[in-house]
Amino acid sequence: MDFSKVFAPISDHLDKFEIEFKRALETDSEIIRTITEHLYGGRGKRLRPALLFLSSGRANSASLYSALAVELIHTATLLHDDVIDESRTRRGIESVNYKWTNLVSVLMGDYFFARAFRLLVKAESPEILASFSEATERVSVGELNQVLFTGNFDIAEETYLNVIADKTASLFACSAEAGALCAGQNGRIRQGLKQYGEYVGMAFQITDDLLDLIGEAHKTGKTLGSDIREGWVTLPLIQALKNDNGSSKERIEKILGNDIGQSDISEVVNFVRDRGGIEYAEQKARDYVKNAVEIVDSLNGLPMKNALMDLANLAAERDR
């Protein structure tokens, strides 16, 4: 199973989205136009807009504007992330901060945030606007807390989970909740889909952190071991350090505290694997998927229920 099969029921929605996304990025500014054209060459999976359409089960102006907004907000966070991480590539192409400057990347992120909320006004729903405002605030909190805990090799699992809930899962939750609102759903279905999105986002980020260690660079579009190089301790490493009897922890922390070469990354990956970190994180992602599927299964009247379940499962099974 892959994303194209899961998204098949909403392929028309996504085709319309692509047309309107290009239109939403039209501008008289030469530099903005040049950068957006560059970014479009490395476009992502459109996972959050697809989640919104699947949750809504219909395509109307509110769902389209909301889908455009969530993708712009997501792109803005990536532009800011790349500055923080000093990334050279994103989705297989040069990052904006590397091709231009950090200042340009930050300002483009700000522009996308502003453009997103301008589109959200057109959705004409205070509840949708409130959902996006909450999610965007959570993203900012998550980013700041990740900076705070970067380099902390004693970070607790609970702290890590709180950071990724804010940084990543919040936009998934917002996408699913907005989909429900666009379909006129409220109450149990709205709250259920919001929680479903939160769980899917958690599974997605934990899997992303796993792929940073054991993925294939040509599939992920990112340099492997980027989290380690940045000093951000993710769940596989947290669990491995917890399981270590002390014989290797000092050595691993010494590696992580210095400039890291490819052989160092291989040593850390082997350490994580030998101490059960990979298996533990895989199971944690599957647990979140299980919770997400159970929620969707309990909700009646969802036209895309099976696709939502497939999307949840794919969050923990993907290789890119």
The pLDDT tens digits for 12-26 are 999 999 999 999 999
Least confident window among 4-18, 36-50, 60-74: 36-50
Predicted confidence at residue 159, as pLDDT, reads 98
Least confident window among 6-15, 116-125, 221-230, 231-240: 221-230
Query: Quick one: pLDDT band at residue 217, thresholds 50, 70, 90?
Result: low
Cβ-based neighbour number of residue 204 at 10 Å: 24
CATH number at residue 81: 1.10.600.10
List 90's β-bridge partners, or say none.
93
Query: Quick one: pLDDT band at residue 223, thresholds 50, 70, 90?
Result: low
User: What mean pLDDT is predicted for residues 304-320?
Assistant: 91
24 contact partners, CB below 8 Å, separation of at least 6: 68, 72, 115, 119
pLDDT of 186 above 80: yes
Predicted confidence at residue 89, as pLDDT, reads 77
Q: How far apart are CA 319 and CA 297, in angstroms?
A: 26
Predicted confidence at residue 92, as pLDDT, reads 75
pLDDT of 220 above 60: no
- Higher local confidence (pLDDT), 211 or 1: 211
Q: How far apart are CA 221 and CA 113, in angstroms?
A: 24
User: What mean pLDDT is predicted for residues 170-187?
Assistant: 96
Contact status, residue 187 vs residue 164, Cβ threshold 8 Å: no
Q: How far apart are CA 206 and CA 201, in angstroms?
A: 9
pLDDT of 179 above 80: yes
Domain that holds residue 231: 3-317
* Backbone phi and psi for residue 50, each to the nearest 5 degrees, phi listed first: -65, -40
- Higher local confidence (pLDDT), 214 or 219: 214
User: What mean pLDDT is predicted for residues 259-269?
Assistant: 81
Domain total in the chain:
1
User: What mean pLDDT is predicted for residues 303-307?
Assistant: 95
User: What mean pLDDT is predicted for residues 123-147?
Assistant: 96
Predicted confidence at residue 219, as pLDDT, reads 59
List 94's β-bridge partners, or say none.
89
Q: How far apart are CA 190 and CA 239, in angstroms?
A: 34
Instruction: Tell me the average pLDDT of the chain.
Output: 91
- Higher local confidence (pLDDT), 217 or 129: 129
